Structure 1
């Protein structure tokens, strides 16, 4: 039985690339930050869990070889790309409408709205699972991080390391941006923050819709 740890020299460069991708700004991190500072720690954590589960879904697909199958049937990825782009545009529209509302009206609406854990989780999951670029990211991680004859245990190791790191990073964002200081910053600059989110989601959605897979 091969020693799985002999594959660590292959895994290390791919892991560093994965960390850079997970830590860098993107729709997933922006959704966690936005939920945490505007709706509190609970919302940030649950959306982070949804995003993590979306990432885990693509990780399992890549590990099981389903990524190559989806790549063969390009129409499936095209459909997901369109759905993902439209969903980001929808989030941009919601952020834009929120940015235009007066602070007093937002305070009243916030008191009325109480999203369920299921709604928050599904929002996070949808953001990540409808992005076909995520599966190609995982496919690249496994392809670059392991030789062609790598055993299943080595694949499980790289998936486990990357998923553990992404879980900690997503939760870290949720906890960091749900502090009292972050809430004060959000209240003082709510319209600017919501406006920035609207622009960011719009750009990400248009980029996804117009990109080639």
Structure 2
């Protein structure tokens, strides 16, 4: 039996599980949606690329075994968890502040010069979530078998990285369309309050959860 027939189904199973994860709304996806509606497509795409980069890094760490090693060092994961929870609470504060404004906060400077800032925000959202490490361990275990050749790990990293870019970019494009922008303009305060509630819940849950 060829290696492709032996390991190919497992790699496809990894891709399927990863796509199902992208379809499930989380802090990363909601951040892309909110940025695209509130600020613009370019900023939403920059944030989506940051999230995708984080997915690529977590995939590489998992395949190389480093994220599994992190699971042994609880102190380091606690630091990551605290940083992630505080970052989500900061996003909640930003959303609530926007909801409290009668008029939208001016974002001209960010629109013109802040693409890297949005990219880093997406990267931080993905990399400061310790659950991402455990999710990747679960996903990789679907396709990585003992003594699997190098190309299997490479295919998983590159494939899921590409899917992450396409998936998160799709959210950025979809939620920066004219109908979505009009919806945001009409219900901005309600939408931002909803984002604030979600990020607060996610942040507090992360800070209070056990690793």
What is the TM-score of this pair, normalised by structure 2?
Answer: 0.93
Name the counterpart of 1:140: 138
Could you report, residue by residue, the CA deviation over 1:75-121 in whole angstroms, capped at 9, with x for unpaired residues?
11110000000100010011001101102xx26x2346545122111
1:164 Cα deviation from its structure 2 partner = 1.3
Q: Structure 2: 5+ residue runs without aligned partners?
A: none
What is the TM-score of this pair, normalised by structure 1?
Answer: 0.93
Name the counterpart of 1:64: 64
Q: How many angstroms apart in 2 are the aligned matches of 1:60 and 1:113?
A: 31
Q: How many angstroms apart in 2 are the aligned matches of 1:64 and 1:111?
A: 42
Name the counterpart of 1:178: 176
Name the counterpart of 2:152: 154
Name the counterpart of 1:73: 73
Could you report, residue by residue, the CA deviation over 1:166-190 in whole angstroms, capped at 9, with x for unpaired residues?
1100010011111111110100000
Name the counterpart of 1:6: 6
**Matched residue SS, 1:54:** helix
Kept in 2: contact 1:81–1:132 (CA 8 A): yes
Q: Which runs of 4+ in 1 moved over 3 A?
A: 110-115
Q: Structure 1: 5+ residue runs without aligned partners?
A: none
**Matched residue SS, 1:189:** helix
